[in-house]
Structure 1
Amino acid sequence: MYGELNDFLPPGWRQEAIAYTFQGTPAVKDVIESLGVPHVEVELVLLNGESVDLAARLGLGDRLAVYPKFESLDVTGLLAVRREPLRRIAFLLDGHLGKLARYLRLLGFDAAHANGFPDEELVAAASREERIVLTRDRALLKRSVVTHGYWVRSTDPIEQAREVVRRFDLAGHVRPFTRCLVCGGPLAPVAKEEVVERIPPRVAAWRDDYLRCTGCGKLYWEGTHHPRLRATVDRILEGSAVSGPG
């Protein structure tokens, strides 16, 4: 196992060749996941030096080399594992990543939070809506229906956001203050006259520009909290310049 795939292995197996015994002819996916590595974390598998997909079968004496996502090397011509890219950048986060969902929305990303969803419903929704699953639960990413996902290493929400931006190379796609922090819906300009009854009088007296969530209808304007949120965006992006989850 190479690179950050070693994060999933017991200390004694990291950065080492692992002898694997088996019966029959197991699939590459089954072997990799039996060692603790979710298949969605794998970018390239070489079986005896040749790129194969996860359905390939192992035989006696075969050697596997398993690689994570490449950030700087163009290996497109080698890949047999990589799935078709999703048509859009959209995430589905499990119930333990609520703060991360809010930070991703702050950056402008479509981030649904599956709080209280059973695992079966979560992965079904991710497949149906073509979303990338973000989770701290390794077992969730081993489900065959999950085609795109990432195991979030850190337990700190700011560092988690940095991880996701680095892992999916999102720095160039950041559009702060374009999504609702509550539901994740896109924000759109709204005329002051349409929502004046919802604006505190002290704000309406000096502010003319407002945004409204197209999903839940929540109203937004640039208030005293804006500098704090801007600073949060800057903190996340300052720590996202280096490739890899760190």
Structure 2
Amino acid sequence: MASAQFVFYAELNDLLPATQRGMPCVVEYASHQTLKHLIEALGVPHVEVGSILVDGKVASPSLRPADGSRVEVFPDHSLPPGGPRFVLDNHLGRLAAYLRMLGLDTLYRNDYHDQELAQVASQEERVLLTRDRRLLMRKVLLFGYCIRHLEPPEQLAEVLSRYQILPPAGESAQAFQRCLRCNTLLQPVSKQSVLERLQPLTRLYYNEFHICPSCDQVYWKGSHVEHMQAMLREIRNPGAEYN
């Protein structure tokens, strides 16, 4: 069999087996196998790959490398056209809520099947966020990212960093403008029109309200806003505390 030396750079090493991170690895392969196939066999989805160099020259993922080649694989730092819009798999519900709080267009359901996720991401040119690397290897996908962290606040910081989204400071025109249930943009509504739906303390302490035109959920700037602002302070200034 032929063999080639593979070198992965930067955060792509997170996706490799621990024994292969940060060092060249030699891969044996059959003559019909392409770079895409070989890279994904090592655990790195094609949507995370930017440029590929074979013996110092830019190469297509469809290339069949020659025996003895040196393959260098670099991460993709590009942004989707028009900015990132997301679709998240079933296990990232809290992250989906955080992204919606920031006003980011984020699709999420807890009953998505893998095929449906891939189709939605492909057809709508959305970034698929998941911890399932096999899902990210589906050919139809254009954009995707494998979440590394386990805790939702760290996942949020990771996504904001990867897609160069600046955490808003203080009041933001974009933040808190999407429904946390269904992702629809909220509309302002008078307090009087929703008064009968409010708890006594909410009636007493809050005067500005929004409503979702799709699912009719009513919103006001309660404790969830304070929690998100504390989290964003932590992301901007690591070491700050949030509850």
For 1:11, the aligned partner's letter is A
How far does the alpha carbon of each residue in 1:126-162 deviate from its partner, in whole angstroms, 9 at most, with x for none?
1122210000111011111111011000101100000
Q: Does 1:61 align with 2:68?
A: yes
Q: Does 1:19 align with 2:14?
A: no
The offset of 1:122, in angstroms, is 1.2
- In structure 2, the residue matched to 1:92 is 87
User: In structure 2, what is the Cα distance between the partners aligned to 1:215 and 1:202?
Assistant: 26
- In structure 1, the residue matched to 2:12 is 5
CA contact under 8 A between 2:40 and 2:137: conserved in structure 1? yes
- In structure 2, the residue matched to 1:164 is 159
- Specify whether residues 193 and 15 from structure 1 end up closer, same or farther in structure 2 by C-alpha distance, changes over 3 A only: same
39, 43, 55: which one aligns with 1:36 = 43
How far does the alpha carbon of each residue in 1:185-205 deviate from its partner, in whole angstroms, 9 at most, with x for none?
212212334333323355345
User: In structure 1, what is the Cα distance between the partners aligned to 2:223 and 2:149?
Assistant: 30
User: In structure 1, what is the Cα distance between the partners aligned to 2:202 and 2:24?
Assistant: 64
Give 3-state SS (helix, strand or coil) of 1:101's partner. helix
User: In structure 1, what is the Cα distance between the partners aligned to 2:17 and 2:205?
Assistant: 59
- In structure 1, the residue matched to 2:187 is 188
Paired positions, count: 227
CA contact under 8 A between 2:100 and 2:178: conserved in structure 1? yes
CA contact under 8 A between 2:167 and 2:235: conserved in structure 1? no
For 1:120, the aligned partner's letter is Q
Alpha-carbon RMSD: 2.2
Runs of 4+ more than 6 Å apart = none
- Specify whether residues 10 and 129 from structure 1 end up closer, same or farther in structure 2 by C-alpha distance, changes over 3 A only: same
Q: Which has the higher strand share?
A: 2
CA contact under 8 A between 1:9 and 1:37: conserved in structure 2? yes
How far does the alpha carbon of each residue in 1:23-50 deviate from its partner, in whole angstroms, 9 at most, with x for none?
2242211111011111111111112211
Give 3-state SS (helix, strand or coil) of 2:95's partner. helix
User: In structure 1, what is the Cα distance between the partners aligned to 2:143 and 2:224?
Assistant: 35
- Specify whether residues 47 and 193 from structure 1 end up closer, same or farther in structure 2 by C-alpha distance, changes over 3 A only: same
The offset of 1:212, in angstroms, is 1.2
For 2:199, the aligned partner's letter is P
User: In structure 2, what is the Cα distance between the partners aligned to 1:234 and 1:29?
Assistant: 39
The offset of 1:96, in angstroms, is 0.9
The offset of 1:109, in angstroms, is 1.0
Q: Which runs of 5 or more residues in structure 1 are unaligned?
A: 71-81, 240-246
How far does the alpha carbon of each residue in 1:54-97 deviate from its partner, in whole angstroms, 9 at most, with x for none?
22221222221001135xxxxxxxxxxx7x83334211111111
- Deviates further, 181-190 or 152-161: 181-190
Q: Does 1:200 align with 2:199?
A: yes
- Specify whether residues 63 and 25 from structure 1 end up closer, same or farther in structure 2 by C-alpha distance, changes over 3 A only: farther
1:66-215 correspondence runs (5 A): 66-70=73-77, 85-171=80-166, 175-205=174-204, 207-215=206-214
CA contact under 8 A between 1:176 and 1:233: conserved in structure 2? no
The offset of 1:10, in angstroms, is 1.7
Give me the TM-score of the superposition, normalised by structure 1.
Answer: 0.83
- Specify whether residues 207 and 52 from structure 1 end up closer, same or farther in structure 2 by C-alpha distance, changes over 3 A only: same
Identity percentage over the alignment?
39
Give 3-state SS (helix, strand or coil) of 1:171's partner. coil
